[in-house]
Amino acid sequence: MIPKRVSSIKFEVLSPQEVRRMSVAKIITPETYDDDGFPIEGGLMDTRLGVIDPGLKCRTCGAKAGECPGHFGHIELAAPVIHVGYAKLIGKLLNATCRECGRILLKNEKRDKFIAEIEKSRELGQDFEDIVKEVFRVTKGIKKCPHCETEQMEVKFDKPTFFYENEHRLTPKDVRERLEKIPDDDLPAFGMDPKAVRPEWLVLTVLPVPPVTVRPSIILETGQRSEDDLTHKLVDIIRINQRFMENKEAGAPQLILEDLWELLQYHVTTYLDNEVSGIPPARHRSGRPLKTLAQRLKGKEGRFRGSLSGKRVNFSARTVISPDPNLSINEVGVPLVVAEELTVPIYVTDKNVEEAREYIMRTEHPKANYVIRPDGRRIRVMDSNREELAEKLEPGWIVERQLKDGDIVLFNRQPSLHRMSIMAHYVRVLPYKTFRLNPAVCPPYNADFDGDEMNLHVPQSLEAQAEAKILMTVQEQILSPRFGGPIIGGIHDHISGLYLLTRGEKNFTKEEVMSIIRPLNITKLPEPKYDDMWTGKQIFSMILPDITIEFKAEICQNCEECKGEECENDAYVVIRDGELITGTIDEKAVGAFKGIIIDEIMRKFGSEETRKFIDNMTQLAIRAIMNAGFSFGISDEDIPDDAKKQIRDLIKEAERKVDELIQAYREGNLEPMPGRTVEETLEMRIMQVLGRARDQAGKIASQFLGMDNPAVIMAVSGARGSMLNLTQMAACIGQQSVRGERIGRGYTYSNRTLPHFTPGDLGAEARGFVKSSYKDGLTPVEFFFHAVGGREGLVDTAVRTSQSGYLQRRLINALQDLKVDYDGTIREQTSNMLVQFRYGEDGVDPMKSFRGKAVDVKRIIREVMAEEGKEV
């Protein structure tokens, strides 16, 4: 079957005739239901407009509730009213046309010139708003009609819907009469299409009444009906409309009629848009402003963004996630309860009819939940009809069987900021109630396990499943299109584990080796390096594919002269033919975002091999860390009293220096830095002194902590935390700041931060320097300043997420229609505009590029030279 496509949508203004033509009922009474709760004929809930109550039948199409799409009705307005959305345009039109003959205030030749210009822009697909603006600007200045010589008067537009000519109010009726006179030929000059709109249609004489299905009433628990906001507003309109008609017939005084007319205008205005500036919004009895037509369309939860661009789906699940290192990175653990509910369709053919039948006959987990007959009827498979259905089953039916191991599903975590936020995983049905995933895939999802929830979708068509498997699986997403490097790799314990395993020459007995590599499916051990002892580097080499690479590890100290393989920190990694010769494996080698080894394997062996490597690497790392034993507690920040004293002295010295600076400043001896005031200079100098003191305190602390301290191991290897974190825990927290400055606000009038200090105190303590460490605990004053500084961080995050979210939305909106064409150019799809002759000037996919470079020339040279048996 060739799918049909909607080719285009044309937008036009509804004419009164059109409104009447499509109407199935004229609505005349404001009452909705009679005493029996039955819809009144000619009322707003007229059954000709469609039905929402089960049991009733639509009088227009005869269908039941849920099947009848609803039909429009109409209200004949007793007097014309202005459409708020077009009031401004009407104002401009009145000023641009003759008040007598209705012609545009331009000579025909001039008008045609403008029209030709607009036509040209339209053809080129350009915006002609500016030309139209020019037409209105020019015509506004013309005081005499060039066609009938009538003197023109300026029509003033008073928001939201009033027009005045020489202080004299123009009624909507007058306005409409004038608009009627504008000939079709003049309309294109105003950017209007005479086929789509007549100007007088912008003044309403009939109002379409949307079908009941658009404004369903809800029945509360009390049995009372609660009508939709639109119905309420329509009731108001009809009530005033009726009153106006009665008064007019009764010959009521002009004043009363005018009041009613204005009221009718108000109700129609708020019916169309309840957020018009200048008039109070119509309110519900409870005081809540009504949600009328414009409000339904607008905004995030409106029709466009909420219902049309964001669609709801079936075959999806959501629950809390938790880690499972025993899964492969491209698997997801699905709870049995979820797997029993989600289904995959089997399109029955004569080749799989037996298989499908088996699913129907099964009574346990991977069984069939529903079968769909060729006529579209969906039948639930139950004990009672199981055999009958199995019997009847034949090619052409669809069997919906439960999710089972090996099925492909899409897994997603919001916010979906990049394409790696939705990846395809293979299902593993597991007990318990959480989705399980390998911790190595946390970075692309930006997930952790502090209560995060994720969504799962089951692709239903074979095309979708194939696409998911080929394009969306985790291993296909290891390289990020953002920078052409890996974003999946080891995290936390994976890095500490491999660091512990590979650092230096650690020796392992056969038993230890076996226990470490147990989950790895390694069949042959290499020769032990020392008799019966294997090194950690050897163990790591067992999982390495055949690669050759050299790089500096994360722990590299950036010595002035790199000693290469002789590095005494064991920070220079050399891998030759899949054998780790020297160097320590850490974040730089296997970490997410950095992972040089992962990058290399990906380029040399492809995604499947890389997936296996990451699986093995994480397993090995976890085993290694368990073998070594790794824990971290408060006592790991213990530093000897001697060190504490050193730190205390250091900080005292810094405080003394600060006092000296303040002293110098008070005496006017402080030399300002170029381009700065004395005050700024003082602040900068103080910050410098205190910052240095904190750094030195940290250095002292880390001297005493040593390289085998777990916190140090984590910080150096890049597993988690930094030396700064460690400093703050063990030595000194340091200066708290707000907007990059020391904390100086608080009791502004007495110029101090807290009543504990003398006014004008600029000392370290009084301006938020925290000399305690987290382990020692903070004094009350320090605690206060810490909270002040901490709050800035919280505010910052909150503001940032909303701002960057909006930026992302705008970027996506601006760029979404760009694609690479078959000729390698980048074009905008809607206008077919050529944006780039060659994507990125070289046509290279950033994901396949080598960190931005089109080709990794060095690697190719290395490869070729090796092939030729030559050294580089």
Residues 321-360 that bind another protein (CB under 8 A): 347-351, 353
Query: Of the two residues 13 and 40, which places its CB atom closer to another protein in the complex?
Result: 13
Does 677 help bind another protein (rule: CB under 8 A)? no
Q: How far apart are CA 240 and CA 729, in angstroms?
A: 73
Does 744 help bind another protein (rule: CB under 8 A)? no
Query: Of the two residues 52 and 348, which places its CB atom closer to another protein in the complex?
Result: 348
Does 414 help bind another protein (rule: CB under 8 A)? no
b/e code 661-693 from CB counts within 10 Å (16+ = b): bbeebeeeebeeeeeeeeeebbbebbbebbeeb
Does 218 help bind another protein (rule: CB under 8 A)? no
Given the rule CB under 8 A, which of 362-370, 542-550, 628-636, 826-834 is the region that contacts another protein? 826-834
Given the rule CB under 8 A, which of 17-25, 133-141, 632-640, 793-801 is the region that contacts another protein? 793-801
Binders of another protein in range 391-410 (CB under 8 A): 394-396
Query: Of the two residues 781 and 820, which places its CB atom closer to another protein in the complex?
Result: 820
Q: How far apart are CA 817 and CA 838, in angstroms?
A: 16
Does 674 help bind another protein (rule: CB under 8 A)? yes
Least distance to another protein, CB of residue 580, Å: 26
Interface pattern 172-211 for another protein (x via CB under 8 A): -------------------xxx-xxx----x---------
- 797, amino acid identity: T
Least distance to another protein, CB of residue 820, Å: 4
Binders of another protein in range 549-608 (CB under 8 A): none
Among 481, 528, 545, 746, binds another protein (CB under 8 A): 481
- 381, amino acid identity: V
Query: Of the two residues 85 and 216, which places its CB atom closer to another protein in the complex?
Result: 85
Given the rule CB under 8 A, which of 97-105, 145-153, 535-543, 832-840 is the region that contacts another protein? 832-840
Given the rule CB under 8 A, which of 2-10, 63-71, 619-627, 640-648 is the region that contacts another protein? 2-10
Give 604's contacts (C-beta < 8 A, 6+ positions apart). Answer: 545, 547
Does 22 help bind another protein (rule: CB under 8 A)? no
Does 794 help bind another protein (rule: CB under 8 A)? no
Interface pattern 437-476 for another protein (x via CB under 8 A): ------------------------------x---x-----
Does 757 help bind another protein (rule: CB under 8 A)? no
Query: Of the two residues 308 and 337, which places its CB atom closer to another protein in the complex?
Result: 308
Given the rule CB under 8 A, which of 241-249, 389-397, 501-509, 545-553 is the region that contacts another protein? 389-397
Least distance to another protein, CB of residue 630, Å: 28
Q: How far apart are CA 528 and CA 566, in angstroms?
A: 22
Where do the H-state alpha helices sit in 532-632?
Answer: 536-543, 587-590, 596-605, 607-628
Query: Of the two residues 42 and 194, which places its CB atom closer to another protein in the complex?
Result: 194
Does 800 help bind another protein (rule: CB under 8 A)? yes
**3 state DSSP class of 842:** coil
β partners of residue 372? 378, 398
Q: How far apart are CA 442 and CA 463, in angstroms?
A: 28
Cβ-count burial of 137 within 10 angstroms (0-12 exposed, 13-18 middle, 19+ buried)? exposed
Query: Of the two residues 34 and 134, which places its CB atom closer to another protein in the complex?
Result: 134
Q: How far apart are CA 581 and CA 548, in angstroms?
A: 10
- Six token digits for residue 580: 């780790």
Cβ-count burial of 66 within 10 angstroms (0-12 exposed, 13-18 middle, 19+ buried)? exposed
Does 86 help bind another protein (rule: CB under 8 A)? yes
Helix (H) or strand (E) holding 480: none
Least distance to another protein, CB of residue 139, Å: 17
Instruction: Say what the alpha-carbon torsion angle 839, 844, 845, 848 is, to the nearest 10 degrees.
Output: -170
Least distance to another protein, CB of residue 481, Å: 5
- Six token digits for residue 25: 């009922």
- 237, amino acid identity: I
Cβ-count burial of 740 within 10 angstroms (0-12 exposed, 13-18 middle, 19+ buried)? exposed
- Six token digits for residue 126: 């350009």
- Six token digits for residue 547: 């690669």
- 715, amino acid identity: A
Least distance to another protein, CB of residue 72, Å: 17
Instruction: Say what the alpha-carbon torsion angle 270, 274, 278, 279 is, to the nearest 10 degrees.
Output: 50
Binders of another protein in range 505-524 (CB under 8 A): none
Does 57 help bind another protein (rule: CB under 8 A)? no
Residue matched to tokens 């150019």: 825
Q: Tell me phi and psi for residue 369, to 5 degrees.
A: -90, -40
β partners of residue 436? 322, 333
Does 279 help bind another protein (rule: CB under 8 A)? no
Query: Of the two residues 511 and 867, which places its CB atom closer to another protein in the complex?
Result: 867
Interface pattern 531-550 for another protein (x via CB under 8 A): --------------------
Query: Of the two residues 206 and 732, which places its CB atom closer to another protein in the complex?
Result: 206
**3 state DSSP class of 151:** strand
Least distance to another protein, CB of residue 724, Å: 15
DSSP state of 171: P
Q: Tell me phi and psi for residue 654, to 5 degrees.
A: -60, -45
Does 12 help bind another protein (rule: CB under 8 A)? yes
Does 69 help bind another protein (rule: CB under 8 A)? no
Among 739, 748, 780, 794, binds another protein (CB under 8 A): 739
Given the rule CB under 8 A, which of 160-168, 298-306, 565-573, 712-720 is the region that contacts another protein? 298-306
Binders of another protein in range 89-128 (CB under 8 A): 89, 125, 127
- 490, amino acid identity: G
- Six token digits for residue 9: 């949508």
DSSP state of 150: P
